[in-house]
């Protein structure tokens, strides 16, 4: 499912093979104003992720009892492929330096131990959400900047074409005046300078207007 930069900003995916803990986590998040969705295994979580987006995923590293074949690290890697802008928090009841390094190396925002402290969990979740929103704002700003650059490039291309045509016309008429100078040719040259200059100025005004409009949107 294509993911927007900041989508379903209060939705949290909870993946844990312990039914009681999964329910406790979901109830806790719901009471705190989040929108939890729960899965017992990596396969179930991947199925949910095909139709639902989320801001943060809280994933147990074990998942042995959920009926699936992958652990939390592998699940996180697969989820990040389709939901790269979400943040991920790993839970474990068997802490080790190796799993902590592996989790962080795979892109986890946080690594918490079971039994977890509620304040610590909520604090980690809030920080993860804050980063999710910051990244979304940055992506939106980049998109707006890219749109402005594309628009300006289009106008600049038109400006170059207008300038090239104007210069070529002026060169041709100037050559005619050199070869057969008379008042009519000079008047025609003056009118052409006015017309071509006005055309270039109009394109420049359009460029400035689009640039100002893009700045106002940001």
For the chain, the distance separating the N- and C-terminal CA atoms, rounded to the nearest angstrom, is 28
Residues in the chain: 218
Kindly report, residue by residue over 35-66, the tens digit of the pLDDT.
Answer: 999 999 999 999 999 999 999 999 998 887 76
- Does position 188 have pLDDT exceeding 50, yes or no? yes
In terms of average pLDDT, the best of 23-37, 59-73, 109-123 is 23-37
Q: How confident is the model at residue 191 (pLDDT cuts 50, 70, 90)?
A: confident
Averaged pLDDT, 5-10: 57
DSSP the chain: ----SS-STTEEEEE-S-HHHHHHHHHHHHHTT-EEEEESSHHHHHHHHTT---SEEEEES--TTTT-S--HHHHHHHHHHH-TTSEEEEEESS--HHHHHHHHHTT-SEEEESSPPHHHHHHHHHHHHHHHHHHHHHHHHHHHHHHHHHHHHHHHHHHHHHHHHHHHHHHHHHHHHHHS--HHHHHHHHHHHHHHHHHHHHHHHHHHHHHHHHHHH-
Give the pLDDT of residue 2. Answer: 40
Q: What value does the mean pLDDT take over residues 203-217?
A: 63
- pLDDT tens for residues 91-108? 887 766 777 778 878 888
């Amino acid at each position: 499912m294509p993911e927007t930069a900041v989508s379903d900003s209060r939705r949290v995916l909870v993946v844990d093979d312990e039914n009681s803990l999964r329910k406790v986590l979901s109830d806790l998040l719901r009471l705190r104003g989040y929108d939890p969705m729960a899965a017992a295994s990596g396969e179930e979580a991947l199925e949910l992720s095909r139709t639902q987006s989320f801001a943060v995923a809280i994933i147990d590293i074990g998942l042995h009892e959920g009926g699936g074949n992958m652990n939390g690290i592998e699940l996180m890697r697969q989820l990040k492929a389709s939901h790269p802008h979400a943040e991920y928090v790993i839970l474990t009841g068997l802490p080790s330096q190796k799993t902590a390094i592996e989790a962080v190396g795979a892109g986890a925002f946080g690594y918490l131990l079971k039994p977890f402290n509620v304040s610590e969990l909520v604090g980690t979740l809030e920080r993860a959400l804050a980063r999710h929103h910051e990244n979304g704002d940055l992506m939106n700003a980049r998109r707006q900047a890219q749109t402005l650059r594309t628009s300006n490039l289009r106008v600049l291309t038109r400006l170059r074409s207008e300038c090239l045509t104007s210069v070529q016309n002026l060169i041709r008429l100037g050559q005619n005046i050199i070869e057969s100078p008379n008042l009519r040719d000079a008047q025609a040259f003056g009118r052409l300078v006015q017309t071509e200059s006005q055309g270039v100025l109009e394109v420049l005004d359009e460029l400035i207007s689009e640039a100002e409009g893009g700045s106002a949107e940001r």
